[in-house]
Every structure is written in structure tokens, then in C-alpha cells.
């Protein structure tokens, strides 16, 4: 089996009452895919993902699994974009495999700056508290983990059903 | 005298040195012009790129050579299709930097020029991808025959890039894709034909539109609405040329209500409406055994099929009931079914059965005149690497099966019972005997003559088959005497 696909349950008319009536939050499907990607492309192992999940092994819905791991391992951060090996760059929240590949290319020739991350369309806001680069340091006064979490958590989405 | 630059020693170029370069809006035209400009050592800010349709044909003026990586050429081919008017300036600036001291420039994805060039490339690729997804062909009939025509509005001049895809995908269709930035036509063979773009939208519709819309409406899952993902995969700018897109707003508005309705219409019982579960094999057999209207022998056959009195039923394929004339005067009882009998469900069809048939034919009889059955109704075997080897049933198994044999004897009511082998004789008589102790006329059992003899399989196994065969033939001849 090369990979796994996840599909959240969606109710159907005239279903058996043994089936649940309400669909689960669709974001759960997304979180499962993110966790799968961490296993397949980011060098995480399953233990690391379940350790940083919240209640009863469920992935947190408000933050992605990589951010959850980073918040549980504050001692690893901040990571220097100009020095850290690829495996560590892949652990930074907000940086994907493509961004990491480009960061590694850039730093062969010049220092990586915040401007580069912005140009690469990385999630800079998410990455800022966890990185050091040529023109950025998160500072010595660490914000508390809980504060950081609420700052980076995904706002509860109200899906607008009407197109403007 | 020229003023020196602030940060390096190169002089700031004077504005009046800038030149206009006329190019056709294609990559090839730009490439030739850019080679020439590099040869003349014109810096990017000295050049004013002007698009014109009356440019010199590509390749005529240029003899200059410039070496850049294949990667740049590949990106530039996409960027050249972009709609932005500054793409030529951008491409030449990157080219200038690549050839003037920054050969590694493409690795610097964070550089503003590189980032913008990459972004343009991505936009064109995305537009190309969406064109492959959202072109909707409509059948058009004319004097020239059937033709499939599509109207599409891409953001960039991608028709030439997309042409090959549509030819591969719809090789045996005659089609035209019409867009504002160029049209492509395919006649089912030959070369793709590109023509000028159309300024006004073409209104198309055909009879399949309603069918397609009905399909789309029915596959829409109201419980799985992801508006953002949908808008990203199917941007609204393409909607006006997609027949199914007209349905989307109404479907989205009704989605919540439809989901709620499903929840309210939830079934109150936990039983699916599939009727009662199907009857098991045993139940069906039991009913047919108890059905008085069926022939007695058929009921016995079904009873043997349902029989679980010994363990032999489990590995066997099926029970092998007796067969033949229901009112036969002679009954032949064998030992147990073999491999062939087990697979076919009929007695005496293996090698021993064939020998029996031959002997009966020699005596002017056929098996249809008799009733043939076995003392044990299931195949007993041992599995070896190549085949299932027959095993002699034990007394316990013969005793378990004896009930069915006695019922068969009672129903058929034969005058003479020929027992093939000691096992069969023991089953009929109810006690073990030795074949060599059998008196010439056999035994008397409840007014019936019981005549034990050797089994045909014993002939096949014997070291001296001819004498065994003669023995069996003589016994059978005596058994048939007077009754056939």
C-alpha cells in the first residue's frame, strides 16, 4: 500500500440508524492528511504525532499537527534557517518541503532573509516565533506556549454559503 | 561625462540612450531580439520592448549567441505567454543578470525578479491546467458535418501550449476551441490550425447540457460543502462558460436545509428494510425432507445432504446419494464415493464405476436397470501433494450412515442386494463378514437375498486383474440371473 486516503463520513438519506446522523467536522480529514504528510515527507514518526495530540489521541482541530509538535518541543526552537540541517528545517511550522528546498538553495549563495520567506509565500506569521534568519530573531522573552497557541490557532470558520 | 552610480562603479545610463525593440508577442521573437541586445551589451533599462505584429520574422537578424541554462528557457516559454505587458522587460532583466555575473540567480527564489518570473510561470501553468479542465465542447452540425466547438476565456495566451493536449485527448473528434487570445482547429488528422482570437463571446448550447446539469445536480453532496476549496479548484471567473456552474449558488443555499432534512427524516428503528434474512442451507433441506409430496428417494437424498451424524461431511464437497430405478429388483451397494463421485455427486462414475459399466454391458445389462448406492454417502480422503487419496471408512462412520442405507432398501424394496466389498456387506447385514466365508447363494435377510462379492476397485488394484475380473463377472452374472 503506497498511501492512505481519508474521507470524512457524510450522511445519506434513508440511512440505517446505526450510522451517525451528522457529518464530522471536515477539518478533521484535513488534519489527518497533514499528519500523513508529516509521516511521508517530513521525517516524523507516528509516536511524535500522537504524543502531541490532545485528548485521547485525537489530533487537535484548531492547530495543525506540526505546530502542535513544535509547541510541545519549544526547547528545539528557534531554528537558524542559515545553519540548521534539512531535517530540522522540515520541523518548522509554516515551512513546507518546497520552501525548505528553496531555502537550502538560497543559502548556498547568500544569507536567507525574511524577505525571501515572504517571496516564497511561506506562512511567515506561523514561522516567525520558531526561526532565526539573517534579519530576524524571535527575541529572548519567550511568549508562553499557551499564548502562542491561541495566537496561531485557526479561528473557528464560519463558512459563508453565498458567493458575493 | 557620465555620472558614476552610487553603489558601484558602473555609470548610470543616460535616458536618451534607450532604444525601442519591436518584437512579435512570441517567445521565439523575444529570444532572437534578446540575443541581439545581449551582443550589443544593452542593459535592461536601456531597452523599451514594444509588441507589434509587424516585427521581422524570427531568426532573420540574429546571429548572436548567448548561453543560459535550459531551466531558464523552459520557464521563459511559459512566462512569454503571460498577459502582463512587463514580461519582456522582466525576462530580459533576469537574462541580463544571469549572463552578467549572477549565473546562480535562478537558485535565489526569494529574489524579487526571480520570484515574479516564477509567479508568472505558475499563473500560466495554472491557467493551462484549468483550460484542460473547463473547456466544454458542444456539438454543432453544419453542411461540413458534425463538429465540436468550445468557447473558453483564458487569462493568458495559452492556446498554442494547450493545442497538443486536446489533439491527444480527442484525436478522432473534429473540434475547434475558440478563445479571445487565439483559436485552435483540428480536422481529425493533419496539422493543428491556429487562427486569430475572437473579440466577442460565442454562445453555444446543445441538447446534452440538461443531461449534464442533471448529473451534476445529483452528484452534489450537500453534507460535504467546502466553499473555499471549491472556489480555489473551480475559480468563479470560469463559471460563465460552465453550464453546471449556474446550479452551484442554488445548490449551496439549499445544502444546509437538505442536510437538516436528512437528520430530521432519520429512521426510528434500527432495522434496515431488507426483509428477513435468507434461509440457510440446512433449513431449506429440512423443509424438503419433510415435504410429503416429494418422492421418498429424493427426500432421503436431501436428508443425506443435511446429515451431520459423522465428521465426513465437512471436508467432502457434497453427499453422493444413490441413483437408479426406484423400483429396481436388484440393488448394488458400494463402499463409499471416490474423488470423481464426490465432485460430480453421482455414484460409480470413477474408474471402478467404468469397470462396473463394462461388466454390466458384457452381461447385457445397464445401470439404469439397477439401483446403485453406497454404504457411506460422503467421500473420505487423505490429502497428498497431488491428489485426494481414498480412505476406507471406519465402522463408526459406516454405522452412522447405515440409517440412510436401510431406508433406501425399504423404499426400493429389491429382491436381491449385491454388496460390493466387505464394508458394504457389513453395512447391509449389520455385522462384519469375511468375503471368503460367503456361501454360494449368499445370505437371507428379511426375505431378500444378500450377495456379497468383491468391489470393482479391488480388480483395478489386484496384482492379477484378469482372475479377479472373472470372479466379479461370475458373481454379477449370478446376481442378475433370472431378474433381468
pLDDT in tens, B75-107: 999 999 999 999 999 999 999 999 998 899 999
pLDDT exceeds cutoff 60 at B270: no
- In the numeric block, the cell 509565500 is attached to A121
ipTM of this model?
A: 0.84
Answer with the residue of higher pLDDT: B435 or B92. B92
The pLDDT score that the predictor gives to residue A156 is 57
Mutate to test the interface with A, among B103, B108, B110, B262 (most CBs of A within 10 A): B110
**How much of chain B exceeds pLDDT 90, in percent?**
48
User: With an 8 Å Cβ cutoff, are B227 and A117 in contact?
Assistant: no
- Rounded average pLDDT over A78-90: 95
The DSSP call for residue B147 is E
User: With an 8 Å Cβ cutoff, are B224 and A8 in contact?
Assistant: yes
B175-179/B182-186 β-pairing: antiparallel
Average pLDDT of chain A is 85
The pLDDT score that the predictor gives to residue B146 is 86
The pLDDT score that the predictor gives to residue B67 is 81
The pLDDT score that the predictor gives to residue A58 is 83
User: With an 8 Å Cβ cutoff, are B269 and A15 in contact?
Assistant: no
Burial class (CB in 10 A: 0-12, 13-18, 19+), B162: buried
User: Which alpha helices (DSSP H) does B234-306 contain, by range?
Assistant: 248-264, 281-290, 296-306
Chain B nearest-CA distance from A111, in A, is: 10
- Rounded average pLDDT over B251-255: 91
- Rounded average pLDDT over B399-413: 92
pLDDT exceeds cutoff 60 at B4: no
Please report which confidence band the pLDDT of residue B1 belongs to, taking 50, 70 and 90 as the band edges.
very low
Average pLDDT of chain B is 87
In this complex, is the C-beta atom of B269 within 8 Å of any C-beta atom belonging to chain A?
A: yes
pLDDT exceeds cutoff 70 at B266: no
pLDDT tens for residues B11-62?
A: 555 555 678 888 888 899 999 999 989 988 889 988 889 888 765 555 555 5
**How much of chain A exceeds pLDDT 90, in percent?**
51
The pLDDT score that the predictor gives to residue A8 is 83
Q: Where in chain B is the domain with CATH 3.40.470.10?
A: 281-480
pLDDT exceeds cutoff 80 at A18: no
In this complex, is the C-beta atom of B101 within 8 Å of any C-beta atom belonging to chain A?
A: no
- Rounded average pLDDT over B386-394: 90
**How much of chain A exceeds pLDDT 70, in percent?**
88
In this complex, is the C-beta atom of B108 within 8 Å of any C-beta atom belonging to chain A?
A: yes
In CATH terms, B281-480 corresponds, of 3.20.20.140, 3.40.50.2300, 2.30.22.10, 3.40.470.10, to 3.40.470.10
Burial class (CB in 10 A: 0-12, 13-18, 19+), B352: buried
The pLDDT score that the predictor gives to residue B456 is 92
pLDDT tens for residues A50-82?
A: 887 766 778 888 899 999 999 999 899 999 999
Name the region of B199 (left: φ>0; alpha: ψ -120 to 50; beta: rest).
alpha
pLDDT tens for residues B279-338?
A: 888 888 888 888 888 899 999 999 999 999 899 999 999 999 999 999 899 999 999 999
Chain B nearest-CA distance from A23, in A, is: 7
Residues 6 or more apart whose Cβ sits within 8 Å of residue B28: B58, B59
First to last CA, chain A: 43
Q: How far apart are CA A1 and CA A127, in angstroms?
A: 33
Residues forming beta bridges with residue B4, ordered by sequence position: B11
Residues forming beta bridges with residue B176, ordered by sequence position: B149, B185
Chain A nearest-CA distance from B89, in A, is: 20
The DSSP call for residue A11 is -
User: With an 8 Å Cβ cutoff, are A108 and B107 in contact?
Assistant: yes
- Rounded average pLDDT over B255-272: 73
R_g over Cα of chain A: 18
- Is the peptide bond between A78 and the residue preceding it cis, with omega within 30 degrees of 0? yes
User: With an 8 Å Cβ cutoff, are B267 and A15 in contact?
Assistant: yes
The pLDDT score that the predictor gives to residue A162 is 41
In this complex, is the C-beta atom of B221 within 8 Å of any C-beta atom belonging to chain A?
A: yes
The pLDDT score that the predictor gives to residue B113 is 94
Please report which confidence band the pLDDT of residue A161 belongs to, taking 50, 70 and 90 as the band edges.
very low
pLDDT exceeds cutoff 60 at B6: no
- Rounded average pLDDT over B410-420: 92
The pLDDT score that the predictor gives to residue B286 is 87
**How much of chain B exceeds pLDDT 70, in percent?**
92
Domain boundaries, chain A: 26-151
- Rounded average pLDDT over B185-212: 87
- Rounded average pLDDT over B389-403: 91
Q: Which of A20-34, A144-158, B169-183, B445-459 has the lowest mean pLDDT?
A: A144-158
- Rounded average pLDDT over A117-124: 92
Please report which confidence band the pLDDT of residue B129 belongs to, taking 50, 70 and 90 as the band edges.
very high
How many cross-chain Cβ pairs, A to B, lie less than 8 Å apart?
Answer: 85
Amino acid at each position: 500500500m503506497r498511501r492512505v486516503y481519508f474521507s470524512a463520513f457524510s450522511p445519506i438519506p434513508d440511512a440505517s440508524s446505526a450510522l451517525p446522523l451528522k457529518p464530522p467536522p471536515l477539518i478533521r480529514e484535513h488534519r489527518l492528511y497533514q499528519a500523513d504528510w508529516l509521516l511521508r515527507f517530513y521525517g516524523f514518526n507516528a509516536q511524535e504525532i500522537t504524543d502531541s495530540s490532545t485528548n485521547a489521541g485525537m489530533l487537535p482541530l484548531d492547530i495543525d499537527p506540526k505546530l502542535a509538535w513544535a509547541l510541545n518541543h519549544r526547547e528545539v526552537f528557534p531554528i537558524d534557517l542559515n545553519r540548521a540541517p534539512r531535517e530540522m528545517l522540515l520541523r518548522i511550522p509554516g515551512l513546507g518541503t518546497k520552501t525548505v528546498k528553496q531555502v537550502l538553495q538560497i543559502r548556498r549563495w547568500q544569507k536567507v532573509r525574511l524577505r525571501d520567506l515572504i517571496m516564497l509565500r511561506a506562512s511567515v506569521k506561523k514561522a516567525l516565533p520558531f526561526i532565526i534568519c539573517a534579519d530576524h530573531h524571535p527575541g529572548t522573552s519567550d511568549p508562553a506556549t499557551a499564548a502562542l497557541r491561541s495566537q496561531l490557532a485557526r479561528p473557528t470558520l464560519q463558512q459563508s454559503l453565498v458567493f458575493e | 561625462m557620465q555620472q558614476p552610480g552610487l553603489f558601484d562603479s558602473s555609470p548610470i545610463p543616460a535616458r536618451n540612450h534607450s532604444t525601442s525593440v519591436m518584437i512579435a508577442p512570441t517567445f521565439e521573437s523575444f529570444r532572437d531580439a534578446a540575443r541581439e541586445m545581449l551582443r550589443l551589451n544593452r542593459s535592461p533599462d536601456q531597452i523599451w520592448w514594444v509588441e507589434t505584429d509587424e516585427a521581422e520574422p524570427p531568426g532573420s537578424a540574429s546571429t548572436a549567441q548567448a548561453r543560459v541554462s535550459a531551466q531558464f528557457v523552459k520557464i521563459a516559454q511559459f512566462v512569454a505567454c503571460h498577459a502582463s505587458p512587463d514580461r519582456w522587460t522582466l525576462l530580459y532583466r533576469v537574462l541580463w543578470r544571469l549572463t552578467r555575473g549572477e549565473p546562480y540567480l535562478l537558485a535565489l527564489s526569494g529574489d524579487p525578479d526571480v520570484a515574479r518570473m516564477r509567479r508568472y510561470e505558475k499563473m500560466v501553468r495554472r491557467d493551462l491546467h484549468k483550460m484542460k479542465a473547463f473547456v466544454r465542447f458542444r456539438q454543432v452540425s453544419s453542411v461540413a458535418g458534425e463538429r465540436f466547438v468550445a468557447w473558453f476565456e483564458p487569462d493568458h495566451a495559452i492556446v498554442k501550449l494547450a493545442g497538443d493536449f486536446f489533439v491527444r485527448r480527442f484525436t478522432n473528434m473534429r473540434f475547434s476551441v475558440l478563445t479571445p487570445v487565439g483559436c485552435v482547429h483540428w480536422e481529425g488528422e493533419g496539422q493543428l490550425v491556429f487562427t486569430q482570437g475572437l473579440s466577442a463571446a460565442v454562445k453555444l448550447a446543445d441538447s446534452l447540457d440538461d443531461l449534464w446539469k442533471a448529473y451534476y445536480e445529483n452528484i452534489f453532496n450537500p453534507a460535504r460543502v467546502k466553499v473555499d476549496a471549491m472556489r480555489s479548484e473551480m475559480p468563479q471567473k470560469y463559471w460563465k462558460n460552465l453550464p453546471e456552474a449556474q446550479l452551484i449558488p442554488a445548490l449551496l443555499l439549499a445544502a444546509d436545509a437538505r442536510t437538516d432534512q436528512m437528520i430530521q427524516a432519520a429512521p426510528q428503528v434500527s432495522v434496515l428494510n431488507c426483509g428477513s434474512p435468507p434461509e440457510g442451507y440446512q433449513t431449506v433441506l429440512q423443509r424438503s425432507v419433510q415435504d410429503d409430496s416429494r418422492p421418498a428417494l429424493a427426500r432421503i437424498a436431501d436428508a443425506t445432504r443435511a446429515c451431520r451424524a459423522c465428521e465426513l461431511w465437512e471436508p467432502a464437497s457434497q453427499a453422493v446419494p444413490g441413483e437408479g430405478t426406484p423400483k429396481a429388483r436388484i440393488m448394488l451397494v458400494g463402499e463409499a464415493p471416490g474423488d470423481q463421485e464426490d465432485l460430480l455427486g453421482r455414484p460409480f462414475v470413477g474408474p471402478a464405476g467404468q469397470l462396473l459399466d463394462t461388466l454390466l454391458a458384457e452381461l447385457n445389462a445397464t445401470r439404469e436397470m439397477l439401483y446403485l448406492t453406497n454404504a457411506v454417502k460422503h467421500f473420505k480422503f487423505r490429502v497428498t501433494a497431488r491428489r485426494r487419496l481414498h480412505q476406507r471408512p471406519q465402522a463408526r462412520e459406516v454405522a452412522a450412515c447405515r440409517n440412510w442405507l436401510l431406508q433406501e432398501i425399504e423404499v426400493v424394496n429389491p429382491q436381491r442386494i449385491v454388496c460390493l466389498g466387505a464394508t458394504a456387506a457389513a453395512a447391509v447385514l449389520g455385522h462384519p463378514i469375511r468375503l471368503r466365508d460367503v456361501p454360494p447363494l449368499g445370505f437371507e435377510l428379511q426375505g431378500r437375498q444378500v450377495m456379497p462379492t468383491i468391489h470393482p476397485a479391488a480388480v483395478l488394484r489386484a496384482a492379477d486383474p484378469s482372475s479377479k475380473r472373472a470372479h466379479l463377472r461370475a458373481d454379477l452374472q449370478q446376481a442378475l440371473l433370472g431378474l433381468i
